[in-house]
Structure 1
């Protein structure tokens, strides 16, 4: 089986801050970093904020999010189904994530404990 993973771009980066500093982080990324806040889908059970940063998004969440960290980088791919099959074929455990309208997505961990997300925009 040939590797079907074809990456289009980095879609977003998710960083985390302590819950009591979430508003401070929001103001820092608006006032100091000059980012534009955007609407965050109402599908998550934890607070957070989304911003646009060049052609990617910055997502700010809180830790801890049990049992897995919310910190990750998300990559847009051209074929999410083929990507899923390839990773499963290679013994990678996949995790389903909350549904975000217009995005098919899942996460997994590399062998070194780094959480990664793959997604494809769908109509």
Structure 2
């Protein structure tokens, strides 16, 4: 019955679209998608890379997800780590699952993200 995951939405404060773009496009290399006008009026952005979509949605009052997180598959986790480091974003390697290289980081709004190389 279930066929896949279409997107993940992370919360952001109002008016931070340029900060989101700088991170999701500038650092992670995603492409921004146009939002339907009725949804664009609410703020936030949509980003895509391959079949993955991450949507940022304005939430007031804003509280970042510090524990809940998407697990995002990457093709080259070392390249991602280099991009995060070059942009000044901290990350933590996680070796708790044997056979999977993973790291955890936070977007500029404080939302936790996990990246996994399979």
Q: TM-score range by the shorter chain?
A: 0.3 to 0.5
TM-score by length of structure 1 reads 0.44
> Greater strand percent: which structure?
1
TM-score by length of structure 2 reads 0.46
The structure whose Rg is larger is 1
